[in-house]
Structure 1
Amino acid sequence: MSEIITPIQLVTSVYKRLEEWKHLNGVVTSLAPKAIKHAKLISQTPMDNSNLLMGIPFVMKDNIATIDSLTTGSSKILANFTPNYDSTVNKYLTKASAINIAKTALDELGMGGDGLYAATGHVLNPWNPKHITGGSSSGSAALVAAGIVPFALGTDTGDSIRKPAAYCGIIGFKPTYGLISRNGVFPYAPSLDTVGVFTNHVEDVAIVLDNLVHHDSEDFTSVHSTQKDYVKNLNTNIQDKNIAILNYDSYQWTPDIKQAFDDAVNSLVTDGAKIHKINFDEQLLQALLPVYMIISFAEATSCHANLTGINFGERIAGNDYSQVMTNSRTAGFGDMVKRRYIIGAYALSANYQEELFNKAKKVRRLVVEALTQIFKKYDAFIVMPTVTSAPTIKDVLEQKKVISSKHDYLEDLLLLSNLNGGPSITIPLTTVNNLPIGININATPFNDQTVLDIAQFLSNYINFNNKMLGDENE
């Protein structure tokens, strides 16, 4: 007979492991007192075998509000912000008797793709601490990869869940835009922001979705979906699925990554799927990053206008309100955030709004139309989330010192699903030099089940073993 583990024992073991991995710098705020109290309460409640989240610990990105607990967005300007309201997702998970143990670090206010821009410092990759985790949902990714919790919540505005998942050897899922409520989530770019989940197993994604996918009248972007019961409907039957893959024939990638990608694709063919290599308008692919930057930076500039030290945020004294605002924002924001606000304000200025912001929205529409045509023919579209493993922190910081005229658009493909709002999942593919790399599956909006089914099939075939799970930190 297997030993029964109580919620208290489970939470205690999680905090012990969290201490062993504290050098990852993935936590902003521990919720230990509340978590232990919650675990004790659950222990006194009869076990509900139909509730798969009962007593399960998780962590949450620190731009998602938790009532009466610090929610800082990993920014100095919100270092002491304790909301008197709760996010909808935290309400749902609390109701399901899942146990929130910590708020996790992120690139400040979600603005960054490396995990190096939290006010609390760099978040380190558990596979190799010299390498980045990716961002902005860096802390959530690191703690799931380290085997501390079975799932974590993050947000994905421009690959902020799926790129860290690729770098950390775990699963990162961005659902259809609006499928999970954003009520209580700090906005970055409201036309792009999406709440999603990190796990080590596709089935765990489905379990979390079953608890979080509900229409929420408190979120004006919340949508209704005809799909439900994601766990019940999860299957690996891909017979006759039409799946498009991006044509990488002209790309010179490393033989071991190419072999792993080809093997994964061939496994789909062997099981009855129909694979089609397609080309995507290269000009549109080259435009992905600038379009994302202009739209998201502009929306952030508008959304964060209330972080002044007067309405919200840590106040730095001044002679008048203008000086208070200037002093507070100067001291409260990091360089990455300031840079994005400047670009966003420039794009929204009267002289350049038509040339930059409005034009970016028009190009976004072209991207969406191109994807719509793809999904009229194919059930899914598979791309690589990145064609290299996680770079070193040193290399990333060195690259930030110069402005390069060259950029590899193959690093931006995950932005496609942000621009069209479709579901997208990254799963582990292989390792290169003892660092993981992933593969990514996309579908048209509201076809989240299709993405999960194909991911489940590929996960079974790849059989990736996260070496972090169960290991003692050395």
Structure 2
Amino acid sequence: MKINYYQLSIRQLNELLKTKAITPDQLTKLVYKRLTQFKKLNAIVTSLEQYAIKQTKLITEEEINNNLLAAIPFVTKDNIATINILTTGSSKILANFIPNYDSTVNKLLTNKQAINIAKTALDELGMGGDGLQAATGHVLNPWNLKHITGGSSSGSAALVAAGIVPFALGTDTGDSIRKPAAYCGIVGFKPTYGLISRNGVFPYAPSLDTVGIFTNHVEDIAIVLDTIALPDQQDFTSVESKEKDYTKNLDENIKAKNIAILNYNDYQWNDTVKSSFDEAIKHLTDGGAKIYQIDFDKQLLQSLLPVYMIISFAEATSCHANLTGINFGIRKNGKTYQEVMTNSRTAGFGDMVKRRYIIGAYALSESHQEELFNKAKKVRQLIVEKLNAIFKKYDAFIVMPTINPAPTIKDVLEQKKVIKSEHDYLEDLLLLANLNGGPSITIPLTTFNGLPIGFSINGAPCNDQVVLNIAWFLSKRINFTNKLLGDEHE
């Protein structure tokens, strides 16, 4: 019997394993066969094939019968530490870094006998939004290789979209899971800040960094979340939510839910995308939810990107001060330790990272800290207060992660050569959930010109279940097909 495993959810794969229609070893081999077929995506930093095959042999029948994640393959973004396994952050300066410690999130999954099959490429150290900044080169969108995946969790998004694994780990500091999910036609979830431990995850901006999940099915988000959403004393930002059993509490009943949507009336967008958006909203009203169109202070929305940039770049400058090439990483020679640091960082960092460090250092400098960094934090607080007011009245807030499909790699590279006089703030709306720490999920909505576009649902901090339930409801009603999960690649 031919098994197209890549079309299946975690629960469906578990059923095949329980009935012995497929063995853990066979499933792992199928994963690596399909990974070879999609090698052109350039989504992998390190393959863990020998490790993965060894791990499958340790899985017992009892574990498969009582554990949905046993023998289920996944991939990990390469800024998440894996003990005794190369972890580079997709940066040249860490090209030889093998941690002697394990991230909490990887440990929780491997303890459940989930099989980590690869470390995935990202925009260097999480700094980038296009998937073009990894030391290993551009990560390509599996829907169309001429287009970007989005970033920074580009490799993880590409491999889930291609059906190679049913779930993947990423990190989201400023839409780094949800924007790639929108561009790749998959589900991307950023939970409440602190819900998933960041212990062992390379920091970018600690006041924003969040570990999250990619899948093709909303239920799979809940299944993985049940394993990794645990308080951790090794993470000082870890929070314990009153919510438990996310999978058990998935519920399509959205009656009496009050849902706000951003007022897009004045925005000129494509008729195909707009009609798909309107249809999704109609599904919600048909399901008994009450929809309210609301305005959001335009000045605050226009400030989203600069506030995010100043805060995150400044925090990155501080967090990455240990990347000197002296204690670990790639070292370049010099006559003094200052020369060693300068030479190592000059050779080890890409242009995007260097640019962000310079801006961050400038924002933190004594003469500009009040004008830039402190002011950015004050504006962030205004944004948070506005969102708090919204979530006092509404159970969820819906925005579009983007109303355009993924741009071409060529266009993105050309745009980097010029400084724009204007910026479309509606492309930055996913930053809202980073700034207030609330849960946010992107699900596929439609396709335009053969490329996917997503739909984003946001909630108040620690209201992850509400967000998941609305996404669960919509995913069963939105008519979206991932063309990559057909048989043409077999």
Q: Under a length normalisation based on structure 2, what TM-score does the superposition of the two structures give? A: 0.95
**Aligned-partner Cα distance in 1 for 2:365–2:328:** 24
- Given residue 9 of structure 1, which amino acid in structure 2 is its aligned partner? Q
The verdict on how the C-alpha distance between 1:88 and 1:389 changes in structure 2, with shifts beyond 3 A counting, is same
Aligned-partner Cα distance in 2 for 1:345–1:193: 19
In the alignment, which of 73, 81, 96 is matched to residue 65 of structure 1?
A: 81
Amino acid at match of 2:211: V
2:168 match: secondary structure: strand
Match of 1:452?
468
Q: Secondary structure at the match of 2:248?
A: helix
User: Which of 99, 121, 124 lines up with 2:137 in the alignment?
Assistant: 121
Deviation at 1:466, TM superposition (A): 1.0
Indicate whether 1:175 and 2:220 are aligned.
no
Task: Give yes or no for the alignment of 1:284 onto 2:295.
Answer: no
Q: Secondary structure at the match of 2:212?
A: strand
Are the counterparts in 2 of residues 151 and 198 from structure 1 also a CA contact under 8 Å? yes
The yes-or-no answer on 1:215 pairing with 2:231 is: yes
Distance 2:124 2:183 in 1: 19
Q: 1:89 aligned to 2:105?
A: yes
1:253 paired residue among 264, 269, 281: 269
Instruction: Choose which of 457, 462, 467 in structure 1 pairs with 2:478.
Output: 462
Structure 1 gaps, min length 5: none
**Correspondence for 1:16:** 33
Counterpart Cα distance in 2 of 1:184 and 1:33: 23
Q: Which amino acid aligns with 1:25?
A: N
Specify the code of the residue in structure 1 equivalent to 2:391.
F
| Contact residue 72 and residue 80 of structure 1 kept, 8 A | yes
Equivalent of residue 253 in structure 2, options 230, 237, 244:
237
Match of 2:358 among 342, 361, 365: 342
% identical equivalent positions: 77
Give 1:4's match in structure 2, choosing from 21, 33, 36: 21
Matched, 1:149 2:176: no
Q: Distance in 1 between matches of 2:345 and 2:480?
A: 45
- Alignment correspondent of 2:177: 161
1:56 aligned to which of 72, 83, 88: 72
Q: Is 1:369 equivalent to 2:370 in the alignment?
A: no
Corresponding residue for 1:385? 401
Instruction: Give the C-alpha shift of residue 271 in structure 1.
Output: 1.3
**What displacement does 1:4 show?**
1.6
- Contact 1:297/1:341, CA 8 A, preserved across alignment: yes
Q: Among residues 422, 440, 444, which one is paired with 1:424 in the alignment? A: 440
Equivalent of 1:442 in 413, 438, 458: 458
Check if 1:37 corresponds to 2:54: yes
Match of 1:137 among 142, 145, 153: 153
Query: Structure 1 residue aligned with 2:310, among 277, 291, 294?
Result: 294
In 1, distance between residues paired with 2:488 and 2:77?
25
Letter in 1 for 2:54: K
Q: Does 1:317 align with 2:333?
A: yes
Identify the residue that residue 28 of structure 1 maps to in structure 2. Answer: 45
- How far does residue 45 in structure 1 lie from its aligned partner after superposition? 4.5
Structure 2: gaps spanning 5 or more residues: 1-15
AA aligned to 1:5 is I
- Matched position secondary structure for 1:49: helix
Query: Which residue is equivalent to 1:354?
Result: 370
Q: How far apart, in 2, do the equivalents of 1:191 and 1:433 lie? A: 37
For 1:333, the aligned partner's letter is F
Match of 2:126 in 1: 110
Deviations 1:294-335 (A, max 9, x none): 000000000000000112321000010010000000000000
1:147 touches 1:470 (CA, 8 Å); kept in 2? no
TM-score, normalising length: structure 1? 0.99
Whether the 8 Å CA contact 2:64–2:71 is kept in 1: the answer is no
Deviation at 1:48, TM superposition (A): 3.7
Give distance in 1, aligned partners of 2:230 and 2:20.
Answer: 35
**Cα shift readout 1:344-403 (whole Å, capped 9, x = no counterpart):** 000000000000000000000000000000000000000000010000000000000011
| Alpha-carbon offset, residue 467 of structure 1 | 1.2
User: Over the residues paired in the alignment, what is the CA RMSD in angstroms?
Assistant: 1.0
CA deviation profile, 1:91-143 (whole Å, cap 9, x unmatched): 10011110000000000000000000000000000000000000000000000
- SS of residue in 1 equivalent to 2:414: helix
C-alpha displacement of 1:3: 5.7
> Retained in 2: the 8 A contact 1:151–1:199?
yes
2:212 maps to: 196
Give the partner amino acid of 1:359: K
C-alpha contact 2:443 2:454 (8 A) present in aligned 1: yes
Residue 46 (structure 1) shift = 2.7
Whether contact under 8 Å (1:298, 1:347) holds in the other structure is yes
Q: Which runs of 4+ in 1 moved over 6 A?
A: none
- CA deviations on 1:172-219 (whole Å, 9 max, x unpaired) are 000000000000000000000000000000000000000001100000
Q: What are the superposed Cα offsets for residues 267-309 of structure 1, whole Å, 9 maximum, x if unpaired?
A: 1111111000000000000000000000000000000000001
Q: Which residue of 1 aligns with 2:13?
A: none
Q: State how far apart, in whole Å, the 2-side matches of 1:273 and 1:331 are.
A: 55
Q: Does structure 1 retain, via aligned residues, the 8 Å contact 2:131–2:151?
A: yes
Q: Distance in 2 between matches of 1:192 and 1:216?
A: 18
Measured in 2, the distance between the counterparts of 1:334 and 1:140 equals 21
Structure 1 contact 59–103 (Cα < 8 Å) conserved: yes
